């Protein structure tokens, strides 16, 4: 027997508020953070320790969305990720995200 669910706006908003969905997003955010830390270059360790995750509900265009962000708060995080005039980007967060997308 098959069950079908129509994912209209009302059902998606209800789904976003489900604790299980929010917990699953938080777990995936933590996995992404851990992988990005593992791919990070280490000189002093500051960059590696500067990754944070944040899971939350937000109103986006009148619709409730469950979101998780992974951010590196080191002052030079953009240079490590994307590079600049003096260094080539290492892309630890981008590479971690790409690895997770293919699994």
Nearest in space to 39 (alpha carbons), one of 88, 103, 92? 92
CA distance 14 to 60: 14
Give me the pLDDT at residue 2, please: 59
Cβ partners under 8 Å of residue 71, min gap 6: 51, 52, 53, 54, 77
Neighbours of 21 (CB within 10 A): 13
Could you tell me the sign of the dihedral formed by the alpha carbons of 64, 66, 72, 78, in that order?
negative
pLDDT of 18 strictly over 90: no
Q: Which two tokens stand for residue 34?
A: 């851990």
pLDDT in tens, 48-99: 999 999 999 998 888 888 899 999 999 999 999 999 999 999 999 999 999 9
From residue 58, give the alpha-carbon distance in Å to each of 44, 75, 82: 35, 26, 28
Give first-to-last CA distance, the chain, whole Å.
28
pTM for this model (two decimals): 0.83
């Amino acid at each position: 027997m098959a069950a079908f669910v129509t994912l209209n706006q009302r059902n998606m908003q209800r789904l976003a508020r489900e604790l299980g969905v929010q917990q699953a997003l938080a777990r995936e955010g933590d996995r992404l953070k851990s992988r990005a830390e593992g791919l990070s270059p280490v000189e002093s360790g500051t960059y590696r320790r500067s990754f944070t995750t944040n899971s939350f509900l937000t109103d986006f265009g009148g619709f409730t969305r469950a979101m998780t962000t992974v951010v590196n708060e080191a002052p030079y995080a953009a240079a490590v990720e994307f590079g600049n005039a003096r260094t080539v980007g290492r892309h630890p967060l981008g590479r971690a995200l790409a690895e997770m997308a293919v699994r």
